[in-house]
Amino acid sequence: MMQTGNTRVVISGAGLFTPAESVSNHELVESFNAWVDHYNAEHADAIAAGEMEPKGHSNVEFIEKASGIKSRFVMNKAGIVDPMRMMPRLEPRSNEEPSVMCEIGVAAAKQAMEQANVTADDIDAVLVAASNMERAYPAMAIEVQAELGIKGFAFDMNVACSSATFGIQQAYDMVVSGNARRVLMVNPEICTGHLNFRDRDSHFIFGDVATAVVIESAEHCRSDHAFEILDTKLQTIYSNNIRNNFGFLNRATEEGVGQVDKLFVQEGRKVFREVCPAVAEQITQQLAKMDIEPDSLKRIWLHQANKNMNELIAKKVLGREPSDEESPTILDEYANTSSAGSVIAFKKYNEDFEPGDLGVLSSFGAGYSIGSIVLKRI
């Protein structure tokens, strides 16, 4: 959606919360292989009789070659690397305490608000956009709103890994329509909570993080480092190749409780083959519609799921091999942080932009869903 009328909309601030703990590939593989050895020993008779297949070891070289990931930040390390648990352990909180997603979302939001030079009184709406919510209701966004002392309205939305770009579109529309002067869009992602750490093909994929951006009209912007939203484009195509069947109806079909499909599952090769060309085509068509030559882009901030995917998409868009500066990578340190990944890349790699420089912020994932935002430093 290209801007119409006189309202110019900008991203005026971005924030990032990074957990204190990190798990390296070596630590993750050591834990996984210890579990594999225990599993195979426990089922040795059935495996010997051909009734069960033995589990295979993971290895660091495979992980780095397949994904580009070297480590990931996590909310709880001890539970993840314990071979007898292999999931995070988060202490229960009372209803009177801030929830975990709220806490990390607020931390990122405060950074974004500081960079935008705004206070709670300046914001009219809060949007929490993430791939999973800690609970069904009250909305996480309303809790974040309350913690920050913001008046107005708030709601949650979920478009999996594309939640942030879709959230930016929603915020953009609110500002253009006059329903909000400024919108705070927050992406708290505790992805280790829905990752199957006992699946060799995916146990290394995700990490935890929270990001946030402030979106407002250029007329009211107080930031000295703002980016105008020149155009937004969203697309969804139904696919089962990335799926998570966890939900409130699981208890009504108890046969499925505890099954692997209640966590993240994907057909990785199909995703790579189908999503990469679709993302590249969307960005290419969007730029062509705006009469922007791909070579005039200073940077493409892509969803941080897989280094090989990003290299292919950037190459298709630019028509050549991208430099590290043109398509920066943060997944080596953060892993896949779902909707937050492209915002992390944007946050960490935009300080060198001069007025007039152009970039594209893009995310893609389950749905399938694809979002791309064309930005100009003002």
Q: Which two tokens stand for residue 150?
A: 């913001």
Q: Which two tokens stand for residue 348?
A: 């960490």
Q: Which two tokens stand for residue 220?
A: 């009211």
For residues 349 and 328, give the distance between their C-alpha atoms in angstroms, rounded to a whole number.
Answer: 7
Report which of 100, 65, 125, 302 is spatially closest to residue 193, judged by C-alpha positions.
100
102 is catalytic: no
DSSP one-letter string for 12-73: EEEEEE--SEEEEHHHHHHHHHHHHHHHHHHTHHHHHTTSSPPP----HHHHHHHH---EEE
Report which of 191, 277, 201, 206 is spatially closest to residue 237, judged by C-alpha positions.
277
Q: Are 150 and 123 in contact (CB under 8 A)?
A: yes
Alpha carbon 8 to chain centroid distance?
26
Catalytic residue among 161, 191, 221, 276: 161
Q: Are 273 and 204 in contact (CB under 8 A)?
A: no
Report which of 191, 90, 183 is spatially closest to residue 145, judged by C-alpha positions.
183
User: Using the 8-state DSSP alphabet, how is residue 206 labeled?
Assistant: B
Alpha carbon 348 to chain centroid distance?
15
Coil/strand/helix, residue 134: coil
- 303 φ, ψ (degrees, to nearest 5): -55, 135
For residues 301 and 373, give the distance between their C-alpha atoms in angstroms, rounded to a whole number.
Answer: 10
Coil/strand/helix, residue 214: strand
Show the DSSP H helices in 52-149 as ranges. 60-67, 77-81, 100-116, 140-148
Just list the catalytic residues: 161
